[in-house]
Each structure stands twice: as C-alpha cells, then as structure tokens.
C-alpha cells in the first residue's frame, strides 16, 4: 500500500509540474528507510542525479518533499542546477493562481516565510531573472536577500491581511443577518468543486483540469428545488502535505467554511487515491477546528469510477456526475432535505393584509406548501426556517391562527 501511495504522490507531483507550466523530462526515485540528513537522497543517488543533470541538462530539479535549508544548500553546491521542493512548487502555483488582493498577499506571506530560513549561502536565489517555475513572486520589490527587509515586509503583509480579515468578517456578519442557509464546498484539489459550483449557480468560476484551479473563495446564490435561495461558497482545493505556511496563510479564506450550515465534501471517485484524499480533507478540517457542521460527501465523476471503488462506510453520500442534469437535481434534493434537518418546521395562517410578511416568507424561508382559505381569507403556509432567523417572532404570532 505504501508503494501505491508513493506512486500516487509522484503522479501528483507530475500534475503539479504541469500546472506550473513545466514539463517532466526524467523521474528518479529511491527507496530509503529515512531521508539522508545532509542531502535527502543517498550519496550514490546524488552521483546518479549529477550524471543525469549532465546528460539531460534540465533547467530545474523538483524534490517530492520539503527540503531543509541545509539539504537545499548541500544539493545546490553539488548539482549545478536550480533545485526546488514540493512546497516551493505549490507556492509557485498559488502565486500564478491568486487573483484577489487577499490571495496575492497570502501567497507572498507564505513565500517569504518559506524563504526566510533559506537565505544563507547559495540555497536559494531570490533573483527573478529568467523566470520559470519557482521564481514567480514574491513581489517586484523583493529581490534582495536582506532578512530584515523580508521581516519588515512580512509584518507589513500581516497588517494588510488583518484589515482584509476584518472586512471579510464584517461581510460575513452582514450575510448572517440576512439569514441565508450557507453551504460550503470543500475537497481535494481537482475533485470537481468549481464544475459543481458552476452547475449549481451558473457563476462562471474558473474551471480547468489543473490543480488549484480555484484559489480565491467565491460565494453565489443557489436555488433549491422548493425555490428557497441558499448561499454556496467554493473554496481552495486541499492537498496532501500542504505547506503549513499555506494552511496558516489561507486560514482566513477557509474561515468561510466555519460559517457554513452544511459542508459538501467533493471527492473525485475516479481517482485511485480517493481514500487518502478524503483523509487529507478531514485532517485539514480538524486543523481548522471544524468538527460539528453536517457533511454530505459527494462522490463526483461517477461515470469514470472504477468497479473497485467502495464508498467510505461512515459517510452520508451521493454519487454524481457533475455534467448530468439528473444527478445535479438529485444532489439538490438531498441538500434541501439536509437543510430542513437544521431548520425549524412551522405551520401558520397569515391574513391577506400581511402581504409584506408573506413576501418575506417566500424569499427567506423554505416553503413546503402554500394555500389560500377563501372563507377565512387567510393563507395557510407550511415550511422551514433557520432557528436564528428574526422572522421566527412574527411566525410565532400567527402559529395556529385561523384553524
């Protein structure tokens, strides 16, 4: 199983390289009990790699793990070629993908925190000449290797981010006041979150078969089968061994998930490593202290799922293909059922004169049935409402009236 996991991880590194616009020329692997403290790979492997570098003349060597500052320095002094590790590669992709001011600041912060301990010697050059993978960011002014300068920049970014976080918090509070049922999409990178988001909201979120296609969170209205409007948020994809600096940097973005009433965990069931992908997502949700929000697992890409696929036994799940209208409808019906479970049921009789209240009920509560009693000139309405919604007080007044 470990060998399988290693293969999946190497395959993922290939995908990451492709996403960063790189091309894999050759792959070199080694089986060791533990990494070599000085060079990560063994002495013989370093010599083999040196020979390969002379033959293939690559622009870059990428290691499928995070290298320590000393390992990076030692390897750079032996091999006359740029070396980056998995963390740098992921940071580079994030630098490419960040579109919003917050996203860019978060990536720059993570890059600088990664670079700081690696500035000694020849381990890493901050020069951006030549471009290419691992050289994007962090910012045009950030070319010198002066620790103090970098620390000042880190403090600056942290201050800017804290004001962005305050703004986001105010926006979330406003949304809370508007009392909408909130759904968050989470999942391993490339599981199909943005495709599902677009199918449910017709929002045009960036959709491509690349890792980390979505970096900045996006929230849109989604209409459930009963015509009730909920809010749906797409989030950044999770990945195994996501650099800790990035988890910390994107914490405020992922805080969106904390506000959700329901989490849709999107899993690519066609990926052979889906079980590990699920574990990775749960581990990250735990790190974010998200443990008490209901989760519905959505196994996506069912048309490509191998016969060996077995859903996780503990999961409440639906299997869909994001491109099937029927499947998307089925998913929405299931989401509505789960919404009802966290809402309060009501049945009320509203006089015709209460037009404003009726209008509010139609937009802000999930209406199950709506009929007019001509004799009594009242509307009988049955439905569901969020327990914290301010409309509850008015509904209580009309509870059972006109029966």
Tell whether residue 215 is among the known ligand binding residues: yes
Report how many domains make up the chain. Answer: 4
Domain residues for 29?
1-94
Same structural domain for residues 247 and 172? Answer: no
In terms of Cα–Cα distance, which of 172, 167, 215, 209 is closest to 192? 209
Distance (Å, whole) CA 223 – CA 242: 33
Same structural domain for residues 322 and 310? Answer: yes
Does residue 136 belong to any structural domain of this protein? Answer: no
Same structural domain for residues 234 and 352? Answer: no
Does residue 389 belong to any structural domain of this protein? Answer: yes
Tell whether residue 235 is among the known ligand binding residues: yes
Same structural domain for residues 283 and 208? Answer: yes
Does residue 324 belong to any structural domain of this protein? Answer: yes
Tell whether residue 185 is among the known ligand binding residues: no
Same structural domain for residues 183 and 279? Answer: yes
Same structural domain for residues 333 and 188? Answer: yes
Give the CA distances from residue 242 to residues 118, 124, 298, 396, in Å, rounded to whole numbers and listed in that order: 19, 21, 22, 49
Q: What is the CATH number for 12?
A: 3.40.50.11060
Tell whether residue 87 is among the known ligand binding residues: no
Note down pLDDT in tens along the chain; length 403 residues. Answer: 467 778 888 988 998 899 888 999 999 998 888 999 999 999 999 999 999 999 998 999 999 998 998 998 899 888 888 899 998 898 888 888 777 787 788 888 888 888 888 765 433 444 444 456 666 655 444 444 467 888 899 999 989 888 877 877 777 676 666 678 989 999 888 888 888 988 888 744 555 555 554 555 678 888 899 989 888 888 877 777 676 667 766 666 677 788 889 999 999 999 888 888 898 888 888 887 888 889 999 999 999 888 888 888 766 899 999 999 999 999 999 999 999 999 999 999 999 888 899 988 888 899 999 998 888 888 999 999 998 888 888 888 887 544 3
Burial of 58 (C-beta count, 10 Å sphere; 0-12/13-18/19+): middle
Q: What is the CATH number for 311?
A: 3.40.50.300
Tell whether residue 190 is among the known ligand binding residues: yes
Tell whether residue 104 is among the known ligand binding residues: no
Same structural domain for residues 204 and 337? Answer: yes
In terms of Cα–Cα distance, which of 243, 256, 133 is closest to 193? 256
Tell whether residue 17 is among the known ligand binding residues: no
Same structural domain for residues 55 and 198? Answer: no
Q: What is the pTM of this model?
A: 0.78
Same structural domain for residues 235 and 352? Answer: no
Report residue 384 as tokens: 């569901």
Does residue 403 belong to any structural domain of this protein? Answer: no
Does residue 392 belong to any structural domain of this protein? Answer: yes
Tell whether residue 273 is among the known ligand binding residues: no
Same structural domain for residues 152 and 40? Answer: no
In terms of Cα–Cα distance, which of 118, 105, 110, 112 is closest to 75? 118
Tell whether residue 216 is among the known ligand binding residues: yes
Helical (H) or strand (E) element with 184? strand 182-187
Report residue 80 as tokens: 């006359």
Q: How many CB atoms lie within 10 A of CB 400?
A: 9
Tell whether residue 187 is among the known ligand binding residues: yes
Tell whether residue 301 is among the known ligand binding residues: yes
Does residue 50 belong to any structural domain of this protein? Answer: yes
Same structural domain for residues 151 and 71? Answer: no
Unique residue bearing structure tokens 């009309």 = 398
Distance (Å, whole) CA 273 – CA 189: 12
Q: What is the DSSP letter of 118?
A: G
Same structural domain for residues 81 and 163? Answer: no
Chain centre to alpha carbon of residue 22: 23
343-380 burial, b for 16+ CB within 10 Å, e for fewer?
beebebbbeeebeebbeebeebbbbeeeeeeeeeebbb
Does residue 49 belong to any structural domain of this protein? Answer: yes
Tell whether residue 345 is among the known ligand binding residues: no
> pLDDT tens digits, residue range 76-102?
888 888 899 998 898 888 888 777 787
Distance (Å, whole) CA 117 – CA 252: 24
Distance (Å, whole) CA 113 – CA 58: 27
Does residue 349 belong to any structural domain of this protein? Answer: yes
């Amino acid at each position: 199983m470990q060998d399988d996991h290693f293969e999946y991880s190497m395959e993922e590194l290939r995908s990451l390289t492709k996403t960063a616009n790189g091309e894999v020329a050759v792959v070199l692997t080694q089986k060791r009990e533990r990494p070599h403290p000085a060079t990560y790979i063994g002495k013989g492997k370093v010599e083999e790699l040196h020979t390969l570098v002379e033959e293939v003349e690559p622009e870059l060597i990428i290691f499928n793990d995070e290298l320590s500052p000393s390992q990076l320095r030692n390897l750079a002094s032996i091999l006359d070629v740029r070396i980056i590790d998995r963390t740098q590669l992921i940071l580079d992709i994030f630098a490419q993908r960040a579109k919003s001011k917050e996203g860019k600041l978060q990536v720059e912060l993570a890059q600088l925190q990664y670079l700081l301990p690696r500035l000694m010697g020849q381990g890493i050059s901050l020069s951006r000449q030549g471009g290419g993978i691992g050289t994007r960011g962090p910012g045009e002014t950030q070319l010198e290797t002066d620790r103090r300068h970098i620390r000042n920049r880190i403090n600056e970014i942290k201050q800017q981010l804290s004001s962005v976080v305050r703004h986001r918090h105010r926006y979330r509070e406003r949304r809370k006041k508007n009392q909408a049922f909130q759904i968050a999409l989470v999942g391993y990178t490339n599981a199909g979150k943005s495709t599902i988001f677009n199918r449910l909201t017709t929002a045009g979120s960036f959709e491509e078969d690349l890792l980390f296609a979505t970096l900045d969170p996006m929230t849109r209205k989604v209409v459930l089968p009963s015509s009730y409007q909920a809010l749906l948020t797409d989030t950044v994809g999770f990945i195994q061994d996501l650099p800790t600096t990035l988890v910390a940097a994107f914490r405020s973005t992922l805080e969106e998930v904390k506000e959700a009433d329901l989490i849709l965990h999107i899993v690519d069931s066609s990926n052979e490593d889906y079980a590990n992908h699920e574990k990775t997502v749960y581990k990250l949700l735990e790190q974010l202290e998200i443990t008490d929000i209901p989760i519905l697992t959505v196994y996506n890409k069912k048309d490509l799922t191998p016969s060996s696929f077995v859903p996780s036994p503990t999961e409440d799940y639906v299997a869909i293909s994001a491109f099937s209208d029927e499947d998307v409808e089925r998913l929405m019906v299931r989401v509505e059922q789960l919404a009802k479970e966290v809402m309060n049921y009501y049945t009320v009789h509203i006089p015709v004169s209460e037009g404003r209240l009726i209008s509010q009920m139609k937009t802000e509560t999930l209406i199950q049935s709506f009929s007019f009693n001509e004799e009594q000139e009242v509307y009988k309405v049955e439905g569901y409402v969020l327990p914290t919604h301010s409309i509850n007080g008015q509904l209580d007044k009309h509870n059972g009236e006109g029966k």
